[in-house]
Amino acid sequence: MKFGCKLSHSVAEALEIDRLVGTDLWTWAINKEMAKVKVAWEACDDLTPEEVRAGKVRDMIGFQEIGCHIIFDIKMDFTRKARFVASGHMTDTPAVMTYSSVV
């Protein structure tokens, strides 16, 4: 709970809260965030994750797979905020790294 409103911990829970309360506040927040971040990747509908992981896709050799999730918050004006974040701590640090990547 935050400001008397139920705070979501997953997309499924956010959509369920919207359904129970009869609003679309969480849905709107999720759609707004995903519209902003979708420019960061290109959809490859003809590929499977297994092909990419096995190194069978030439254009994706050298890429690392990381997990992503959405963090939810409620602002002081009661608007809902969804933030799409990547689990960057799961990537391997390059051998030529000469500075601290964590502040």
Asked whether residue 98 is domain-assigned, the answer is no
pTM metric for this prediction: 0.71
**Overall domain count for the chain:** 1
Count Cβ atoms below 10 Å from residue 44 Cβ, excluding itself: 13
Task: Provide the residue range defining the domain that includes 22.
Answer: 11-90
> Domain for residue 86, yes or no?
yes
Average pLDDT, the chain: 85
Rounded CA gap, 50 and 19, in Å?
Answer: 35
Give percent of the chain with pLDDT exceeding 90: 41
Task: Give CA–CA dist 61/38, Å, rounded.
Answer: 22
Cα–Cα distances (Å) from 88 to 14, 82, 93, in that order, read: 24, 18, 10
Residues 47-68 have pLDDT tens digits of: 888 888 888 888 888 777 788 8
**Residue 50, in any domain of the structure:** yes
Residue 4, domain member (yes or no) = no
Whether 66 is in a domain gets the answer yes
Query: Domain for residue 51, yes or no?
Result: yes
Question: Do the domain assignments include residue 100?
Answer: no
